[in-house]
């Protein structure tokens, strides 16, 4: 049955839109971020027009084939039979009068950064901070940006204005034509159809910002934990942003074991003089044993490319990501986070080659700018900091229960890092696992979201990742 239906699917497309398993294009279009999720389906289809896309979507929905929708693979999506790639949709236009950008869903944010430089100098969209992240996937699960501190999350109504989507029956529409659908696409997981284009607000913004990565040894951890806490308490400037992450393989260094050093990544849209002053990040450069790996004025594209070192992890490791939300950063937050890391490495030493502990310091406006809990499917309404935790390892030598080990360690993270009495029990909607209760994630919006799922996907064929119909996260599809 599957073989016959695959042949029928092939007949709907031109040769360039068909990618077989033996094609040199296959790996780029099929390899997920995490090898654990890789099912190596026999076929990837990559429609290059709306005419092809609506035929493919309708056929797949009515078939018995297991399929998944993919852009860059960051979310570790795969399927038994077919991957439907959106890479064929790469239009771009900037309208200066309306201050809007319309782009195809096949881009990653690195490509968008280059296009903004070329076609919209002096403007920026609220887009992801890593060049290898796909535009559609990040927008469908909330999405954070260097600009979020000032303008909110990618999926907020003031930033994500529209999405073009192909529905199960082949209909193509802009989601605002059906406002409930557009609402569901704002953080609701995306399993309502296939997004082919996005319209984003473009905002006047400095062309050049200050950014940099500064390294510290493990011996500076306690001092760093205290000064980061003070920064979080005093800073209300939305043009400042900061990440604090462990040193090691992600920076091209040798793994640093259970007690790695500390790296700080800074963003200051006011420029270098401000960044190095006490009003910016002057305190960073005063911490003991500071070493500037790279710091200076650069374009937004160049800032986002600083994270390119992570790209080589795709398809090399078994990898899982979880992101508990913190209500506050205190003097011991980083110390507790590094203890969580130490515990993880002690569980399995192999984690040190492909794992991260990363604190995303967030300003008040990042999660409070949508206009209210009911404005987006994923409700976010209070100041929260994001604790991105990745556990990854080479498949060689990993124990058979390595995923179980990772999941148990993730479940300890919230109370351990926040402190038992300060755990919000909240998680970023983009990095969920089967232990997450979707009713908790989506709160009072869940019942409405589930009804919309039934309306737009009655047979639950769009079911990878956030599976609203069954009220669970599909385990084999999460990174």
Task: Please write down the long-range contacts of 4-11, taking CB distance under 8 Å and 24 or more positions apart.
Answer: 5/63, 5/64, 5/65, 5/81, 6/42, 6/43, 6/65, 6/81, 6/82, 8/59, 8/63, 9/43, 9/45, 9/56, 9/59, 9/60, 9/63, 9/65, 9/82, 10/43
Q: Quick one: average pLDDT of 128-156? A: 94
- 451: Cβ–Cβ under 8 A, 6 or more apart, which residues? none
% residues pLDDT > 90 (the chain): 88
The CA distance from 357 to 309, in Å, is 15
Pairing of strands 67-70, 18-20: unpaired
Pairing of strands 160-166, 172-174: antiparallel
Task: State the residue for tokens 């793994």.
Answer: 255
- Same-domain pairing of 277 and 352: yes
- Same-domain pairing of 238 and 313: yes
- Residue 464 is assigned to a structural domain of this protein: no
Residues 334-367: tens digit of each pLDDT: 999 999 999 999 999 999 999 999 999 998 899 9
Cα 359 from chain centroid (whole Å) = 14
- Residue 432 is assigned to a structural domain of this protein: no
Q: How many distinct structural domains can be found in the chain?
A: 3
- Residue 11 is assigned to a structural domain of this protein: yes
- Same-domain pairing of 153 and 75: no
Q: Residue 144: give its domain's CATH number.
A: 3.30.465.10
Q: Quick one: average pLDDT of 91-105? A: 98
- Residue 352 is assigned to a structural domain of this protein: yes
Return the bridge partners of 359, or none. Answer: 244, 387
End position of a domain, from candidates 39, 62, 85:
85
- Residue 434 is assigned to a structural domain of this protein: no
What pLDDT score does 1 carry? 72
What pLDDT score does 420 carry? 76
Domain residues for the domain of 301 are 208-422
- Residue 461 is assigned to a structural domain of this protein: no
What pLDDT score does 182 carry? 98
Q: Which residues of 270-299 are buried (b: 16+ CB within 10 A; e: fewer)?
A: bebebbbeeebbeebeebeeeeebebebbb
- Same-domain pairing of 217 and 363: yes
The helix (run of H) or strand (run of E) holding residue 198 is strand 194-204
- pLDDT band of residue 432 (cuts 50, 70, 90) is very high
Q: Quick one: average pLDDT of 31-46? A: 93
- Same-domain pairing of 179 and 247: no
- Same-domain pairing of 239 and 317: yes
What pLDDT score does 479 carry? 46
The CA distance from 94 to 101, in Å, is 5
Burial degree of 255 (CB within 10 A; 0-12, 13-18, 19+): middle
- Same-domain pairing of 364 and 384: yes
Residues 284-341: tens digit of each pLDDT: 999 999 999 999 999 999 999 988 877 777 788 999 999 999 999 999 999 999 999 9
Residues 369-422: tens digit of each pLDDT: 999 999 999 999 898 999 999 999 999 999 999 999 999 999 999 999 998 789
pTM: 0.95
- Residue 429 is assigned to a structural domain of this protein: no
The answer to whether 215 and 263 have CB atoms below 8 angstroms apart is yes
- Three-state DSSP at 386 gives strand
Residues 267-276: tens digit of each pLDDT: 999 999 999 9
Q: Which residues of 329-339 are buried (b: 16+ CB within 10 A; e: fewer)?
A: bbeebbebbbb
- pLDDT band of residue 279 (cuts 50, 70, 90) is very high
Q: Is the pLDDT of residue 280 over 50?
A: yes
- pLDDT band of residue 249 (cuts 50, 70, 90) is confident
End position of a domain, from candidates 85, 117, 145:
85
Q: Residue 404: give its domain's CATH number.
A: 3.40.462.20
Measured in residues, the chain has a length of 479
- Same-domain pairing of 196 and 214: no
- Same-domain pairing of 227 and 121: no
End position of a domain, from candidates 149, 175, 205:
205
What pLDDT score does 275 carry? 97
- Same-domain pairing of 222 and 235: yes
Q: What share of the chain is helix, strand, coil (3-state, %, to 5)?
A: 35, 25, 40
- Same-domain pairing of 328 and 359: yes
- Residue 272 is assigned to a structural domain of this protein: yes
The answer to whether 300 and 267 have CB atoms below 8 angstroms apart is no
Q: Is the pLDDT of residue 477 over 80?
A: no
- Same-domain pairing of 33 and 8: yes
Q: Residue 19: give its domain's CATH number.
A: 3.30.43.10
């Amino acid at each position: 049955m599957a073989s016959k239906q695959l042949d029928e699917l092939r007949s709907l497309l031109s040769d360039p839109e068909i990618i077989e398993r033996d094609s040199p294009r296959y790996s780029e279009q099929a390899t997920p971020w995490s090898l654990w999720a890789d099912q190596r389906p026999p076929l990837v289809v990559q429609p290059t027009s709306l005419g092809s896309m609506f035929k493919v979507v309708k056929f797949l929905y009515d078939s018995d084939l297991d399929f998944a929708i993919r852009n860059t693979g960051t979310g570790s999506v795969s399927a038994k039979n077919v991957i439907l790639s959106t890479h064929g949709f790469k239009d771009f236009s900037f309208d200066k009068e309306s201050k809007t950008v319309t782009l195809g869903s096949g881009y990653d944010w690195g490509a968008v950064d280059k296009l903004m430089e070329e076609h919209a100098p002096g403007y920026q969209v609220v887009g992801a901070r890593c060049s290898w992240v796909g535009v559609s996937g990040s927008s469908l699960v909330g999405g954070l940006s260097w600009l979020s501190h000032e303008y909110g999350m990618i999926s907020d109504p003031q930033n994500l204005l529209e999405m073009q989507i192909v529905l199960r029956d082949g209909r193509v529409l802009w989601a605002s034509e059906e406002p409930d659908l557009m609402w569901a696409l704002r953080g609701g997981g995306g399993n309502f159809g296939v997004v082919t284009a996005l319209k984003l607000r473009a905002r006047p913004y400095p062309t050049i910002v200050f950014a940099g990565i500064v390294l510290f040894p493990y011996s500076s951890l306690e001092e760093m934990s205290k000064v980061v806490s003070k920064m979080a308490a005093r800073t209300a400037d939305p043009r400042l942003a900061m990440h604090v992450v462990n040193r090691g393989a992600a920076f091209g260094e040798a793994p640093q074991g259970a007690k790695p050093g500390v790296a700080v990544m800074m963003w200051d849209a006011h420029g270098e003089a401000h960044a190095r002053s006490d009003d910016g990040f002057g305190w960073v450069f005063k911490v003991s044993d500071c070493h500037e790996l790279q710091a200076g004025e650069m374009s937004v594209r160049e800032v986002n490319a600083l994270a390119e070192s992570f790209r080589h992890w795709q398809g090399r490791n078994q990898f899982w990501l979880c992101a508990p939300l913190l209500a506050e950063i205190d003097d011991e937050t980083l110390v507790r986070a590094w203890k969580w890391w130490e515990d993880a490495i002690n569980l399995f030493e192999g984690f040190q080659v492909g794992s991260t502990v990363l604190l995303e310091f967030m300003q008040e406006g990042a999660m409070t700018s949508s206009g209210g809990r009911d404005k987006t499917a994923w409700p976010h309404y209070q100041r929260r900091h994001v604790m991105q935790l990745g556990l990854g390892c080479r498949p060689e030598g990993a124990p058979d229960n390595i995923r179980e080990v990772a999941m148990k360690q993730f479940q300890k993270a919230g109370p351990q890092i926040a402190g038992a009495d300060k755990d919000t029990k909240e998680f970023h909607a983009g990095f969920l696992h089967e232990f997450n209760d979707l009713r908790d994630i989506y709160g009072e919006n869940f019942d409405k979201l589930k009804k919309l799922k039934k309306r737009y996907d009655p047979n639950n064929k769009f079911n990878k990742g956030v599976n609203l119909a069954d009220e669970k996260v599909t385990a084999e599809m999460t990174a």
